[in-house]
């Protein structure tokens, strides 16, 4: 994957490129998400029942950090043809923690209100906020401006956006359900099932995170006619080393 090779793609092509990237970086991606989600998953096994809700909420707030780190890895591959290490990806996401969580909370509120009022406004909210996390990571915007930027990028492109979201998240959910069925055959204790399920989430969450980041670049091409060679030239020039 490189800047020069990027072009506008169909939904199927985006998802196909998602799995190609996943296969080439599976160990790093799963390690990254385990580092993000694993501690909370272990605490949920050990903590008393009254703390489970708080730990579940904490896990939900950690998810955008994992997605942001994945976006950083995809961006490094597309813009610089580099493999970003797990540590560097986590540091990049850590620097944008507030904005990533802000996108998660704000978009979540918009979706809930939309679905309560009518289904259609909820779907619109999902589409409008679709690429908020890649915008935070790649363009360095705060959460409110990132959501405005996401809305601008997806305007008039609801079909590829919704298609990419449905296909990537649908496949991830199917993988999760398949894993749950397999776990059921082993008769594990409830706590163990919860731990394994959370760790399995770490293995499938990169799929929609990669797809959404690739969608962000696709929307740049569609919306702005972005020649990616020009995008590369716009990056800060490296200082020569002595």
| Cβ–Cβ under 8 Å, residues 139 and 106 | no
Burial letters 169-182, b for 16+ CB under 10 A, else e: bebbeeebeebeee
pLDDT at position 127, please? 93
- State the Cα angle at 87 between 81 and 92, rounded to 5°: 70
Q: Distance from CA of residue 39 to its chain's centroid?
A: 19
Q: Which two tokens stand for residue 96?
A: 């944008």
pLDDT at position 1, please? 44
Per-residue pLDDT tens for 51-73? 878 878 888 889 999 999 999 99
pLDDT at position 4, please? 43
- State the Cα angle at 34 between 31 and 38, rounded to 5°: 155
Local structure of 99: helix, strand or coil: helix
- Which long-range CB contacts under 8 A does 171-175 form with residues at least 24 apart? 171/15, 171/207, 172/204, 172/205, 172/207, 172/208, 175/203, 175/204, 175/207
Instruction: State in Å, rounded, how far the first CA of the chain is from the last one.
Output: 30
What gap in Å lies between CA 180 and CA 122, rounded to an integer?
A: 28
pLDDT at position 27, please? 94
Per-residue pLDDT tens for 107-123? 999 988 988 877 788 88
- What does pTM read for this prediction? 0.84
pLDDT below 70 — which residues of the chain? 1-7, 179-194, 225-242
């Amino acid at each position: 994957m490189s800047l020069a090779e990027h072009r506008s793609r169909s939904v199927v092509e985006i998802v196909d490129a998602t799995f190609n990237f996943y296969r080439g970086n599976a160990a790093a991606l799963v390690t990254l998400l385990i580092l993000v989600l694993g501690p909370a998953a272990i605490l949920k096994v050990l903590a008393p029942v009254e703390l489970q809700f708080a730990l579940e909420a904490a896990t939900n707030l950690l998810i955008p950090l994992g997605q942001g780190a994945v976006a950083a890895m995809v961006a490094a591959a597309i813009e610089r043809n580099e493999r970003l290490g797990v540590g560097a990806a986590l540091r990049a996401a850590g620097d944008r923690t507030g904005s990533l969580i802000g996108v998660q909370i704000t978009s979540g509120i918009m979706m809930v209100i939309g679905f309560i009022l009518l289904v259609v406004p909820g779907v619109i909210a999902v589409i409008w906020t679709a690429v908020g996390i890649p915008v935070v990571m790649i363009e360095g915007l705060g959460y409110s401006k990132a959501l405005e930027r996401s809305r601008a990028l997806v305007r008039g492109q609801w079909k590829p956006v919704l298609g990419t979201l449905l296909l990537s998240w649908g496949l991830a959910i199917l993988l999760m359900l398949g894993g749950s069925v397999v776990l059921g055959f082993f008769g594990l204790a409830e706590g163990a099932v919860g731990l394994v399920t959370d760790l399995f989430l770490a293995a499938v969450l990169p799929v929609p995170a990669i797809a959404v980041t690739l969608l962000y670049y696709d929307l740049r091409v569609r919306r702005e006619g972005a020649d990616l060679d020009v995008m590369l030239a716009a990056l800060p020039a490296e200082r020569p080393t002595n």
